Amino acid sequence: MSYYRVFAKGIWEKNPILILGIGMCPTLAVSTSVSNALWMTLAATFVLIFSNIFVSLIKSVVPSHIRIPIFIAIIATFVIIVELTLKAFQPDIYKALGIFIPLIVVNCIILGRAEEFASKNTVLPSVLDGLGMGLGFGLTLTVLAFFREILGSNRLFGYTLIPGMEPATIMTLAPGAFFTLAIMLWGMNALKSRKRR
């Protein structure tokens, strides 16, 4: 596989949310506003890239039966780094994302990529894989947040769109996230099946 393919597969062909169907919990929870989605993407991608680097570096030293606790320790370390840094320098964002920053530890995308890709590949492809997967995650999250923020709170990037209009609150709640995600999945599958024909 060429480096470009390794990078690009995360965005479309193996999009973590729309195709692999992992990492749903943060997706549904933090996609209420575009700025939340962007910060979540940044945090998750940072953890993803660095955990991929370290996992691929130590893959030959670690006995396979204790690999999972080691991966988790590496991921947790980077998550705490992100958490403390955000708390210190971006307190508003930290407040908005709340519990979902520490929960990156159990984000399936990160452990999934460590197990499936980084533990079998060298450092450079692992970085590209992490970057691609992070971008795929972020793009999906941002599109989802774009619609949810506009329809659910009548805002975009925190600014009111139409003054005085009552927004559809259901879009900021869980059902709105499910509806939007379902429509996105439908569109994705429709496009894919057309391509195959």
Partner 1 sequence: MNASILRSTLILGLTSFIATFALSHIKAITYPVIQKQERQKQENALALVLPGYTIGEERTAAVGRANFTYWTGQKAGGNTTAKAYAFIAEKPGYSGAIRTMVGVDEKGTVLGISIIRQSETPGLGARVLEAASRNTFFQVVTGRAHETGEEPSPWFQEQFRGVNAAAKIAIFKKGDWNETMRDELLLKNGVSAITGATITTKAVKDSIEVGMATLRIALEEHAKAQEAAGK
By CB under 8 A, is residue 6 in contact with partner 1?
no
Nearest of 144, 111, 104 to residue 130 by alpha carbon:
111
Residue 107: phi and psi, rounded to 5, are: -65, 120
- Cβ-based neighbours of 89, under 8 Å, separated by 6 or more: none
By CB under 8 A, is residue 87 in contact with partner 1?
yes
Residue 90: phi and psi, rounded to 5, are: -135, 65
By CB under 8 A, is residue 47 in contact with partner 1?
no
Please state the closest distance from residue 92 (CB atom) to partner 1, in A: 10
Within 10 A of 106 (CB to CB), how many other CB atoms are there? 14
**Closer of 9 and 59 to partner 1 (Cβ):** 59
Using CB under 8 A, pick the residue from 162, 182, 183, 191 that binds partner 1: 162
> Are 106 and 5 contacting, i.e. CB atoms less than 8 angstroms apart?
no
63-82 binders of partner 1 (CB under 8 A):
63, 65-66, 69-70, 73-74, 76-77, 80-81
Using CB under 8 A, pick the residue from 1, 122, 158, 178 that binds partner 1: 158
Structure tokens that stand for 186 in this block: 């439908």
3-class secondary-structure state, position 159: strand
Using CB under 8 A, pick the residue from 61, 195, 196, 197 that binds partner 1: 61
By CB under 8 A, is residue 142 in contact with partner 1?
no
Nearest of 109, 106, 183 to residue 144 by alpha carbon:
183
**Closer of 73 and 124 to partner 1 (Cβ):** 73
> How many residues at the interface with partner 1, by CB under 8 A?
38
- Cβ-based neighbours of 140, under 8 Å, separated by 6 or more: 15, 16, 17, 18, 27, 184
Please state the closest distance from residue 97 (CB atom) to partner 1, in A: 11
Interface contacts to partner 1, rule CB under 8 A: 32-33, 61-63, 65-66, 69-70, 73-74, 76-77, 80-81, 84-85, 87-89, 91, 98-99, 152-153, 155-163, 167, 169, 172-173
